[in-house]
């Protein structure tokens, strides 16, 4: 029974509007999640009715920015799942180190915490100088935040613990300077980062990479869309390149799975064909 303020039919109408007017296609996102996000936004912004929300989205391109930002999920952390980063350190980076030049794509980078984590790993493995980190997201505003590399000071204790658990040996605070409640990450970590907006749903492959990291993005997509995005990743990965996903995501159900081999028990696969 549909007990939400914004019903299934409303969600469908709104997502069609957004696609036709602005070209953002959310129609293949997981239904329950997108519906909840839209209901959440409806409450947050105190719309009196669905019609008013729809009117705002159709007629106010500035509001569209907020709409996209709020219906997508932008929660991320540094060194989340330390064991994942440990395997990156111990298994993946040594393999990447054999290349003269390393290209990494953070697809759906959100506010950039994982890109900075990766930059720290590369620095510590002495590979940063020959790496390029492409960080993309559908949201221009989170890409801007990622570019700034300024994160809440309150998170640093947790991130420092994650960093140590991932095998980090340094003093984590040496990577940022504290300024009241903000931590600004070192400029030297940014030198090899390239930030851009990219929509996994509609944009095509733009380079070939040895490592693609896309964590906790595919859980919001339905199976069809997941398959499309896996094809995009497959196309964008060099042979023997690595694909890294979130801790509850898998390529198991995708047709490309046969070309990949899993690394240990982490959600990291290596392309073998």
Partner 1 sequence: MAKNGLTLAKNLLLIGGSAGSLEVILQFLPFIQLGPDLAIVMVLHRKAGDDSPLVELLTFRTHTPVKEAEEKEPVNGGVIYVAPADYHLLVERNLTFSLDFSEKVNYSRPSIDLTFQTAAEAPFTKLTCLLLSGANEDGSAGVEAVKLAGGTFAVQDPSTAEVFFMPQKAINRVKPDFLLKPKDMSDFINSLNS
Q: Answer yes or no whether residue 31 interacts with partner 1 by CB under 8 A.
A: yes
Number of Cβ atoms within 10 Å of the Cβ of 104: 25
Q: What are the two backbone dihedrals, phi and then psi, of residue 211, each rounded to the nearest 5 degrees?
A: -150, 130
Say if residues 217 and 187 touch (Cβ distance below 8 Å): no
Q: How far is the CB of 3 from partner 1 (least distance, A)?
A: 5
Q: Which of 73, 125 has the CB closer to partner 1?
A: 73
HSE-up of residue 265 (Cα within 13 Å, Cβ side): 2
Q: Which of 32, 98, 101, 187 binds partner 1 (CB under 8 A)?
A: 32
Q: How far is the CB of 127 from partner 1 (least distance, A)?
A: 28
227-266: contacts with partner 1 (CB under 8 A): 246, 248-249, 253
Q: Which of 46, 48, 62, 75 binds partner 1 (CB under 8 A)?
A: 75
Q: Answer yes or no whether residue 8 interacts with partner 1 by CB under 8 A.
A: yes
177-216: contacts with partner 1 (CB under 8 A): 216
**SS3 labels along 198-241:** CCCCCCCCCCCEEEEEECCCHHHECHHHHHHHHHHHHHHEEEEE
Q: Which of 24, 28, 37, 263 binds partner 1 (CB under 8 A)?
A: 37
Q: Answer yes or no whether residue 150 interacts with partner 1 by CB under 8 A.
A: no
- The residue ranges of DSSP E strands in the chain, in sequence order, are 102-107, 131-137, 150-152, 176-179, 182-185, 193-197, 209-214, 237-245, 260-262, 268-271
The site for partner 1 (CB under 8 A) is made up of 1-4, 8, 30-33, 36-37, 73, 75, 81, 216, 219-220, 222-223, 246, 248-249, 253
């Amino acid at each position: 029974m549909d007990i939400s303020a914004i019903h299934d039919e409303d969600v469908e109408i709104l997502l069609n509007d957004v696609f036709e007017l602005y070209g953002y296609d959310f129609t293949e996102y997981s239904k329950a999640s997108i519906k909840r996000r839209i209901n959440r936004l409806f409450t947050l912004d105190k719309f009196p009715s669905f019609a008013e929300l729809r009117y705002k989205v159709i007629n106010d391109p500035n509001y569209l920015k907020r709409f996209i930002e709020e219906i997508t999920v932008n929660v991320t952390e540094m060194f989340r799942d330390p064991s994942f980063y440990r395997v990156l350190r111990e298994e993946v980076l040594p393999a990447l180190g054999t290349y003269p030049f390393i290209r990494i794509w953070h697809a759906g980078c959100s506010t950039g915490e994982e890109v900075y984590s990766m930059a720290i790993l590369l620095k510590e493995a002495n590979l940063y100088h020959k790496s390029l980190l492409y960080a993309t997201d559908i949201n221009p505003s989170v890409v801007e935040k990622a570019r700034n590399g300024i994160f809440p000071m309150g998170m640093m204790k947790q991130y420092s613990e994650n960093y140590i658990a991932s095998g980090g040996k340094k003093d984590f605070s040496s990577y940022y300077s504290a300024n009241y409640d903000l931590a600004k990450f070192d400029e030297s970590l940014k030198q090899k980062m390239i930030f851009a907006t990219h929509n996994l749903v509609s944009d095509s492959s733009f380079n070939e990479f040895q490592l693609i990291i896309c964590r906790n993005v595919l859980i919001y997509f339905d199976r069809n869309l997941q398959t499309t995005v896996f094809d995009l990743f497959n196309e964008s990965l060099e042979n023997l390149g690595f694909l890294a996903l979130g801790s509850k995501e898998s390529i198991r159900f995708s047709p490309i799975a046969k070309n990949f081999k899993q690394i240990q028990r982490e959600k990291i696969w290596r392309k073998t064909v």
